[in-house]
């Protein structure tokens, strides 16, 4: 793949006998398959990519997908067309790559191919177990005897096989549904981290996750929400909490509203009243009186 040599800046290798684990640090890079590329040694192997920091977007045999830190992406080099590695917000770009020869996996080629080219959500069940196992093996301070490495390599292959089998059992529809739910979960967490950003919008969110705005709206519609409505509700929840906090009694209402991403004070007050049936000032006064009269 063109571009890999100039972008690679360091890492280490863990020999696991039947498998190899490489931790690689990169500069931002777009890796492309050159025309006339000849089959190289190692292409008859599965690669499982776990972004430790940063984002991996790939096109494999016409399938496109993106995974962020904590996700897993499976592919083989033989049909990988392009891979884009982007840093996270802190500038980091590090991936753990598990390389397993195809003959080692106890799965037939058509079954394996059905899993490749897709991100694997790694936040529950066997996916979470596999992710944590890879993360533990990636520790640069980990010291293994050759015999231990061989045994752990077999465990890793078994976990990958179970993971792939689970994906196949749930089928393409179930897998896609699970992936959408995982993406929505990560997007909601992103929104909550950036509620105070006045530039937060469907466009900025879609750009952060490398999806279209229309697809973002569709994800929320499937769960009975709208993107802007959910952002508004989270901001209102946070402002309401702060307005009820006696420790913030001297902080102006407009300052609290601005802290959580609201613009014009009049617009905030109108929205607050529409949702809660009273103005922010009325709510703050009422909760303050309730606190003073409550028994201690």
Question: Can you give the pLDDT of all 296 residues of the chain as single tens digits?
Answer: 555 555 777 889 999 988 999 999 888 888 877 654 444 444 688 999 999 888 888 998 888 888 888 888 999 888 888 888 888 766 678 999 999 988 888 777 777 888 888 887 655 578 888 989 999 999 988 888 888 888 999 999 999 988 887 777 665 544 566 667 778 888 988 998 999 999 999 999 999 988 899 999 988 888 788 999 999 988 998 998 899 888 898 999 999 999 999 989 999 999 999 988 999 999 898 887 765 655 54
Residue 60: CB atoms within 10 Å: 21
CATH number at residue 274: 1.10.10.60
Residue 188 included in any domain: no
Residue 69 shares a structural domain with residue 162: yes
Distance CA 73, CA 201 (A): 28
Let me know if residue 252 belongs to a domain.
Answer: yes
User: Does one domain contain both 259 and 294?
Assistant: yes
Let me know whether 147 and 44 are in one domain: yes
Q: Is 183 within a domain?
A: no
Predicted pLDDT at 292: 60
Q: Is the dihedral of CA 195, 199, 203, 204 positive or negative?
A: negative
Q: Is 27 among the domain residues?
A: yes
Inside any domain, residue 111 = yes
Domain membership of residue 181 (yes or no) is no
Q: Same domain for 50 and 158? A: yes
Please give the Cα distance from 213 to 203 (Å, whole number): 6
Give me the pLDDT at residue 14, please. Answer: 92
User: Does residue 214 sit in the same domain as residue 126?
Assistant: no
Residue 187 is assigned to a structural domain of this protein: no
Q: Nearest-CA neighbor of 12 among 141, 176, 150, 173?
A: 141
Angle at 73 between CA 68 and CA 193, to 5 degrees: 15
What total number of domains does the chain contain? 2
Say what the pLDDT of residue 231 is. 94
Helix locations, the chain, DSSP H: 4-7, 109-115, 125-137, 146-193, 202-208, 213-221, 227-243, 253-259, 265-276, 280-293
pTM to 2 decimals? 0.58
145 and 214 belong to one structural domain: no
**End-of-domain residue from the set 114, 138, 170:** 170
Question: 116 and 220: one domain?
Answer: no
Q: What pLDDT, on the 0 to 100 scale, is given for residue 118?
A: 82
pLDDT at residue 39, rounded to an integer: 47
Structural domain of residue 111, as residue ranges?
4-170
């Amino acid at each position: 793949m063109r571009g890999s040599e100039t972008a690679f800046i360091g890492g280490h290798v863990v020999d696991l006998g039947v498998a190899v684990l490489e931790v690689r640090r990169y500069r931002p890079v777009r890796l492309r398959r050159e025309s006339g590329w000849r089959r190289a040694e190692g292409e008859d192997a599965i690669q499982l990519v776990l972004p430790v920091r940063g984002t991996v977007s790939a096109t494999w045999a016409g399938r496109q997908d993106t995974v962020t830190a904590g996700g897993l992406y499976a592919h083989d080099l033989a049909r990988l067309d392009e891979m884009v590695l982007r840093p996270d917000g802190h500038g980091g770009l590090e991936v753990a790559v598990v390389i397993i020869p195809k003959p080692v996996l106890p799965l037939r080629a058509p079954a394996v191919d059905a899993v490749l080219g897709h991100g694997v959500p790694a936040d529950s069940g066997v996916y979470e177990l596999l992710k944590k196992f890879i993360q533990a093996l990636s520790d640069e301070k980990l010291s293994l005897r050759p015999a231990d490495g061989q045994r752990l390599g077999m465990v890793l292959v078994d976990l990958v096989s179970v993971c792939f089998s689970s994906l196949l059992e749930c089928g393409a529809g179930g897998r896609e549904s699970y992936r959408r739910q995982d993406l929505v979960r990560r997007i909601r967490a992103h929104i909550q981290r950036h509620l105070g950003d006045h530039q937060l919008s469907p466009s900025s969110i879609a750009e952060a996750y490398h999806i279209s705005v229309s697809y973002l709206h569709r994800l929320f519609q499937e769960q009975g929400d709208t993107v802007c409505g959910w952002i508004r509700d989270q901001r209102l929840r946070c402002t309401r909490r702060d307005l009820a906090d006696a420790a913030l009694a001297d902080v102006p209402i407009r300052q609290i509203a601005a802290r959580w991403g609201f613009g014009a004070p009049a617009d905030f007050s109108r929205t607050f009243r529409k949702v809660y049936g009273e103005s922010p000032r009325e709510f703050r006064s009422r909760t303050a009186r309730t606190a003073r009269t409550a028994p201690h």
